[in-house]
Chain A
């Protein structure tokens, strides 16, 4: 157990249209780190809601702390745990909305999280997804879709934490895998994932694989810089939307870190 660690990296970048309009980035990311339990949380604020950037920030911070605290209970009973999370989150958003002087629906956003706990021989994980983001999972060096985007036929149809039927669309998955498989997770909002994953064929781009590998092999600071640079230089010029990516990766401590430059 002493040898296995978790590492996180996350970044949000404001999209071209929000830069032009001088409006804030409506995505938010938040990381939680502790010795054997770490995770990342991502939210994409609803474009039509005035304070959704605040909602996304509140939602990621609150959810990350909640899942860290309730990980064991949610892992054992994911359905009940996710329902309770949504109820408590809605209460929290209602009180925050009152403080902000807006309606709870003004804080609408999607929600994704991935948390992992390292144990003696295995890594237990808990992922949640509500809305149009995707979560990819890497295991034994192979990256595949774990939780796909949930939206209707049209681009402007998805579900938020404030939606009345959010509970029906909130998907949570749990699992465990051997430490040796070095599992990793990549969470991406709808502004970013179309560049990393082709839904029709289920194909994951090499870039997704590389980002996850970088978190494992580079120093935390360098992998964070690499991620921000990837969003800014590779995605933003080709997308008008805000873009966020969060990475959670297992490392066998002391065996993988390299100081080689990241390409």
Chain B
């Protein structure tokens, strides 16, 4: 599913400031879970869990992610400044971590991306490590081409507890350090109603956990695109940590239910 593209494409011809946004998307089997539906009586054992097979119900979480992501891309393409600024990278993770798309400009081809949520395990730590490495490498590209950039965004979407806890703890320290220095905006979202957030909380500002219902994912992506558009228009004098707090507050008010976990 990798979309091959030249990572230097447009850097030479378009010196607009860039906003790198790295999506880390959980593609473990649990992302196939739906809300509601009628049990068929059939059961499936995957990834240490047993799932009831149902007919009907809401769309699977991963389908909502794809729908939401398509809306995100449309929003960015419809904004002149964001279109030339926002650069997207996508990393999927389950028992393995895959770079689906390295950093590059937003184009219509991104709308046809599909994610297969069939994997076992949730290697969140390795995914974060990969995302941070990609962000660092992209910042080096920007420097090489004398392109200025905005505070990078790391967006994590998962519905389960990490299975690589040691790597997670180590990466959480890196993420927190970067956030404290104002060098990264990290927004982890727990999809669904899992009781335990586990290590995910450590990737969020002030260890706040943002929980999102599977059916609200499209709204979440709409919020994320608006945040990216706003950030790509932001100019000097703004205090990024305040912006991040505002962003979280707006999320809590509009999409993520208050007091979750």
Contact pattern, A 141-164, Cβ under 8 Å of B = 1, otherwise 0:
000000000010111111110010
Interface residue? A35 (CB, 8 A): no
Q: Is the CB of B149 within 8 A of A155?
A: yes
Given A48-B234, A155-B149, A158-B236, A200-B15 contact (CB < 8 Å): no
Specify the chain B residue showing the minimal Cβ separation from A45.
Answer: B235
Docked-complex contact B16 and A159, CB < 8 angstroms: no
Once bound together, how far apart are the Cα atoms of A195 and B16, in whole Å? 10
* Contact assessment for B183 and A153 in the assembled complex, using a CB-CB cutoff below 8 Å: yes
User: What's the Cα separation between A105 and B235 when bound, in Å?
Assistant: 13
Q: Which of A216-263 contact B (CB under 8 A)?
A: 238-241
- Complex CA gap A153/B183 in Å reads 9
Specify which of B14, B183, B231, B237 is in contact with A238 (CB 8 Å cutoff). B14
Set of chain B residues within 8 Å of A197, measured between Cβ atoms: 146
A16 at the interface (CB under 8 A from B): yes
Q: How far is the CB of A149 from chain B (nearest CB, A)?
A: 8
Q: Using Cβ atoms and an 8 Å threshold, which residues of chain B touch A157?
A: 236
Q: How large is the interface on B (under 10, 10 to 19, 20 to 34, 35 or more residues)?
A: 20 to 34
Partner of A200, one of B79, B144, B150, B231: B144
B237 is contacted by which of A46, A153, A198, A201 (Cβ under 8 Å)? Answer: A46
Which of B18, B143, B231, B233 lies in contact with A17, CB distance below 8 A? B233
B148 touches A17 (CB 8 A): no
How many inter-chain contacts with C-beta < 8 Å in the A-B complex?
A: 85
| Residues in A whose Cβ lies below 8 Å from that of B147 | 194
Asked if A31 CB lies within 8 Å of chain B CBs, one says no
The residue of chain B having its C-beta at the shortest distance from the C-beta of A201 within the complex is B146
B236 and A156 within 8 A (CB): yes
Residue of A108, A154, A158, A199 ringed by the most chain B CB atoms within 10 A: A154
A46 lies within 8 A of B146 (CB): no
Task: Find out whether the CB atom of A131 lies under 8 angstroms from the CB atom of B146.
Answer: no
Are the C-beta atoms of A163 and B237 separated by less than 8 Å?
Answer: yes
A178 CB within 8 Å of chain B: no
A47 at the interface (CB under 8 A from B): yes
> What is the bound-complex CA distance between A128 and B184, given in angstroms?
33
Q: Which residues of B contact A22 (CB under 8 A)?
A: none
B85 to chain A, nearest CB (A): 7
Q: Are B151 and A154 in contact (CB under 8 A)?
A: yes
Whether A239 pairs with B234 at a CB distance below 8 angstroms is: no
Contact B80 A195 (CB under 8 A): no
Bound form: Cα–Cα A176–B87 in Å: 45
A117 in the interface (beta carbon within 8 A)? no
- How far does the Cβ of A23 sit from chain B's closest Cβ, in whole Å? 11
The dominant DSSP class at the B interface is loop
CB distance from B21 to the nearest CB of A (A): 14
In Å, the complex CA distance between A195 and B14 comes to 8
Set A47, A195, A198, A238: member contacting B235, Cβ < 8 A: A47
Instruction: Decide: A154 and B240 in contact? CB cutoff 8 A.
Output: yes
In contact, A48 and B237 (Cβ under 8 angstroms) = yes
Interface residues of A, dominant DSSP: loop
Chain B nearest Cβ from A190, distance in angstroms: 8
Contact across chains for A155 and B150 when beta carbons are under 8 A apart? yes
**In the complex, chain A residues whose CB is within 8 Å of the CB of B83:** 240
Say yes or no: A46 contacts B15, CB within 8 Å: no
Q: Determine if B236 and A132 form an interchain contact, defined as CB atoms under 8 angstroms apart.
A: yes
A166 nearest CB across to chain B (Å): 11
Q: A-B pairs with the 7 shortest C-beta distances?
A: A194-B15, A155-B17, A47-B235, A158-B236, A199-B146, A155-B148, A17-B81
Is there an interface contact between A17 and B80, defined as CB atoms closer than 8 Å? yes
Q: Are B16 and A241 in contact, with the CB atoms below 8 A?
A: yes
A16-B80, A156-B238, A240-B80 as given contacts; A47 in contact with B233, CB under 8 Å: yes
Partner of B81, one of A131, A190, A199, A240: A240
Q: Are B14 and A154 in contact (CB under 8 A)?
A: no
Q: Contact between A151 and B236 (Cβ–Cβ < 8 Å)?
A: yes
Q: For window 85-125 of chain B, which residues contact chain A by CB distance below 8 Å?
A: 85
Question: B179 to nearest A CB, angstroms?
Answer: 14
Q: Please tell me which one of the listed residues B79, B81, B143, B149 contacts residue A154 in the complex, with CB atoms under 8 A apart.
A: B149
Q: Which residues of A contact B2 (CB under 8 A)?
A: none
A contact residues around B85 at 8 Å (CB): 240
A168 proximal to B (CB < 8 A): no
**Smallest CB–CB gap between A24 and chain B, Å?**
15
- Residues from chain B with a CB closer than 8 A to the CB of A47 are 233-235
Distance to closest chain A CB from B139 (angstroms) = 9
Q: Indicate if the CB atoms of B236 and A159 lie closer than 8 Å.
A: yes
User: B1-29: which have CB < 8 Å to A?
Assistant: 13-18
B residues near A158, Cβ cutoff 8 Å: 235-237
B237 with A20: CB separation less than 8 A: no
